[in-house]
Amino acid sequence: MTAAVSGGAPPLILTEWLCEVVDLAPGMRVLDLGCGRGASSVFLAREFDVEVWSVDLWFPAEERQRRADDAGVGRQVHALHGDARRLQFPRGFFDAVLGIDSFGYFGTDDLFLLDLLPLLRSEGMIGIAGAGLVNEIPDRVPDALTHWWEPSLWSLHSAAWWSHHWSRTGLVDIATADTLHEGWRRWLDWLRLVAPDNHAEIDAVEADAGATLAYIRVAARRGDQVLPDRVETIPVVYEPAPITLIHPDLNPEAGPHPETTN
């Protein structure tokens, strides 16, 4: 487990917790999006006998594939290097899309769901679990967190925020949106195990004691709407045409105007 560390959250605890509210069955095609070093992908294949497309931008696919091979699920796990905003899969290819402590890096984009959902079959499920907030921070960061907080942490959101962010599109039906009971303790345990020298975060989580920081979980089911294709290029035809330009500083009463034709 420690060899598969890729972030500040325990991937298997979060994956198991998320899968309590996501319908998975043997043979399903699952996208594990932003999977880090692939521990969650191996877990999904072994525990649910699903076929997993293990996609991450930062960590090499070769290492993830070797990890899956060594775990005996190499034929079920397809490790790919990819950007969540540039996924190349057929429409309706996946039965489920999961993100373990990853959606804060890309999913807050208002248009992201429009790009992702065409890859999910009608009535398929999307689910996320990871670091978040108990409630949204209105403006000022709590004192317990100020020594650790930096601008990228504003991507942390509450389960209620994610629920609203998704449901307002009208494209999904929210099935679950909640926080892990005493998740901050799991957060603290994990940091002490894998990053004991990260005193700033450990001290912040300990001082906050669950008042602000939490592990959140959201699951939703895609509707049956026909979704538009992603717009990547707009075809145009350029046809040159003459343009007459008249210098605005010239006095119109001073006689004929000099003209320039392009």
Q: What is the pLDDT of residues 169-190, one digit of tens each?
A: 999 999 999 999 999 999 999 9
* Separation of first and last alpha carbons in the chain: 67
Geometric angle at alpha carbon 137, from 216 and 219, rounded to 5°: 25
What count of other Cβ atoms lies within 10 Å of the Cβ of residue 35?
Answer: 30
CATH topology for the 2-232 domain: Rossmann fold (3.40.50)
Q: Are 43 and 37 in contact (CB under 8 A)?
A: no
Full-model pTM? 0.88
CA–CA separation, 187 and 30 (whole Å): 26
Beta bridge partners of 244: 261
Provide the residue type at 86 as one letter: R
> E strands of 109-233, at which residues?
120-133, 172-179, 213-222
8-state DSSP, 126: E
**Relative orientation angle of helices 183-194 and 199-208, to the nearest 10 degrees:** 160
Q: How much is the pLDDT for 228?
A: 78
Contacts of 65-71 with C-beta under 8 Å, sequence gap 24+, read 67/4, 67/37, 67/38, 67/39, 67/42, 68/38, 68/41, 68/42, 71/42, 71/45, 71/46
Structure tokens given for 216: 């959140």
Give the model's pLDDT for residue 262.
Answer: 47
H or E stretch at 216 = strand 213-222
218: enclosing H helix or E strand: strand 213-222
Per-residue model confidence (pLDDT) at position 256: 57
Check residue 135 and give its pLDDT: 97
Which residues in the chain come in under a pLDDT of 70?
Answer: 245-262
